[in-house]
Amino acid sequence: MFLHLVVAANFAELVSVTILSRHGQRTQMGETIYYTPDKDLMQGHLTKLGMKQHLILGQRLRKHYSATNIFGDSYSPSRIYARSTNIPRTLQSAVSQLSGYFENGNGPDNSTTIPIQTEVNDEDYILQAYVKCEYVAKSVQAFRGSPQYVKWEEEHKAVFEQATALVGIPINSTNVEQLNSELEFKALDVPLTDIEQQVAKSVSDASTDLWKLAFNISDPRYERGLNGMIFGEFFRSNPAIDLQNHNKPHQRTLHTSQAYENSYNVRLYSAHDTTIFAILHSFKVDITHIPKVASAFIVELHTEKDGAPYFEFYYVVNSTQDASRPLASDMTQLTPKGCDNAKCPVSTFQKAWENQTYLHTNLHTYLANDCGNTQSYVPDPTVIYKGGKTGVVFGFLTVTAMLVIAAMWMIVMTCVEKVKKSKQGTYQKLSDQSETSD
């Protein structure tokens, strides 16, 4: 891959790199089943190893793309964009990875401070649609009571029994995924025993099979709700993409409700295993395990010599703690559906994925049409409501309320004034009586 970039630079230009990564090793959330690293840290926070994992990933990414200078010599707010879910471990991972991008800062004492955008968890439909899009969440919830789910439980009873014997507490469909994470984290800290390795392999396979079933819901609405917004991010804020006419590569025509308007060379998204797994599943990748900590999904946007843009997609398993190991050693190139090969023209990708990607729509349409989050849906102000526009009706109600409040205030002030005058008269009488008594 690294050789590919150096050679291809003579014929094509790497315009941008989008990196979607899972957070690093974390402490346990909730009651520990078997193992938790860094017990003194708060639950669900990044461990020291987790920070190191993303620092190394950042260093390896910069070295991998050094021939293109896509990162620039130092941080530039017009070149680098970072976004994270609003959760400590993903924010910490983003900070660590960004630190690996730049050795020399442009701030005080050679420091580098890079802003990380985030969103309220309940409104993060780009990186947490799996649980925040109501239709998707309800579809997965319904799956938990389906015949396929019951069959999965029956097929993995032996795994539950084997895991129970190891950890000493009952392992079943409700906690096998947690045990899978704990064994993954322990393997990063200390070598596993033979029996631990066997159980780790079994619970990993069982958890992966469960996720495959949960994500394999044949419903276009479900698929749009799950990945529609994140796929749309591939197209947004890129000067090389014109969604209406690919013959004009440097004319940006997409208008979205997203928080940023610039065209960035590097975009980092710090998220979770579910975020990456959903994309890999949509790409029809043969998934052998739930994405490991600090793994990443990478989207490269190139332009041909004639300006025609194309995508290349990669999956990275970042299991090493060796910053000198070439990133290409852990990269697997992916070919998405609709594309003849790994080098996928943007127009081809757009056509193949148009029913799963939100390009020319806004967040409110997405919520109303595919998520069913009606409580979050804000109606267009031109919608007719009881014979008038909602904006006019709300404006009338607002003015009426203000008038009522003003009238009530005048009445209160009049009453206060009368009380004051009454008290003044009483004070005067008392004063007169005092003067006559002397």
- Domain ranges, ordered by start, for the chain: 2-371, 388-437
**CATH code 3.40.50.1970 for 2-371:** no
- Where is average pLDDT lowest: 280-284, 335-339, 387-391? 387-391
pLDDT digits (tens, 9 = 90+) for 368-400: 778 876 444 333 333 332 333 333 333 444 445
Does the structure show a pLDDT above 60 at 252?
Answer: no
Residue 169 to residues 29, 44, 274, 330, 426, Cα–Cα distance (Å): 17, 22, 26, 36, 81
> Which strand (E) or helix (H) includes residue 309?
strand 309-316
pLDDT digits (tens, 9 = 90+) for 117-130: 998 888 888 899 88
Grade residue 427 by pLDDT with cuts at 50, 70 and 90.
Answer: very low
Give the three-class secondary structure for 280: helix
In DSSP terms, 34 is beta-bridged to: none
Mean pLDDT of 167-174: 95
The span from the CA of 437 to the CA of 420, in Å, is 26
State the pLDDT at residue 422.
54
Q: What is the pLDDT of the chain when averaged over all its residues?
A: 79
State the pLDDT at residue 396.
41
State the pLDDT at residue 311.
93
Does the structure show a pLDDT above 90 at 298?
Answer: yes
In DSSP terms, 26 is beta-bridged to: 46
Q: Is 408 or 7 the better-scoring residue by pLDDT? A: 408
Exposed/middle/buried for residue 360 (C-beta within 10 Å: 0-12, 13-18, 19+):
middle
Does the structure show a pLDDT above 70 at 6?
Answer: no
Rg (CA), the chain: 29
Q: What would you measure as the largest C-alpha separation in the chain, in angstroms?
A: 112
**Number of helices (H) and strands (E), helices first, in the chain?**
14, 10
Does the structure show a pLDDT above 50 at 435?
Answer: no
pLDDT digits (tens, 9 = 90+) for 134-163: 888 888 888 988 999 999 999 999 999 999
Exposed/middle/buried for residue 285 (C-beta within 10 Å: 0-12, 13-18, 19+):
middle
Does the structure show a pLDDT above 90 at 23?
Answer: yes
Mean pLDDT of 31-56: 92
State the pLDDT at residue 245.
41
Q: Is 19 or 228 the better-scoring residue by pLDDT? A: 19
Grade residue 236 by pLDDT with cuts at 50, 70 and 90.
Answer: low
State the pLDDT at residue 355.
76
pLDDT digits (tens, 9 = 90+) for 87-120: 999 999 999 999 999 876 666 676 778 899 998 8
Q: Among residues of the chain, what percentage have pLDDT more than 90? A: 43
Query: Which is nearest to 267 in space by CA: 116, 128, 85, 90?
Result: 116
pTM score of the predicted model: 0.78
Query: Which is nearest to 292 in space by CA: 9, 23, 84?
Result: 23
In DSSP terms, 14 is beta-bridged to: 302
Does the structure show a pLDDT above 60 at 357?
Answer: yes
State the pLDDT at residue 418.
62
- Where is average pLDDT lowest: 230-234, 264-268, 294-298? 230-234
Q: Is 423 or 302 the better-scoring residue by pLDDT? A: 302
State the pLDDT at residue 209.
96
Grade residue 438 by pLDDT with cuts at 50, 70 and 90.
Answer: very low
Query: Which is nearest to 15 in space by CA: 234, 218, 330?
Result: 234
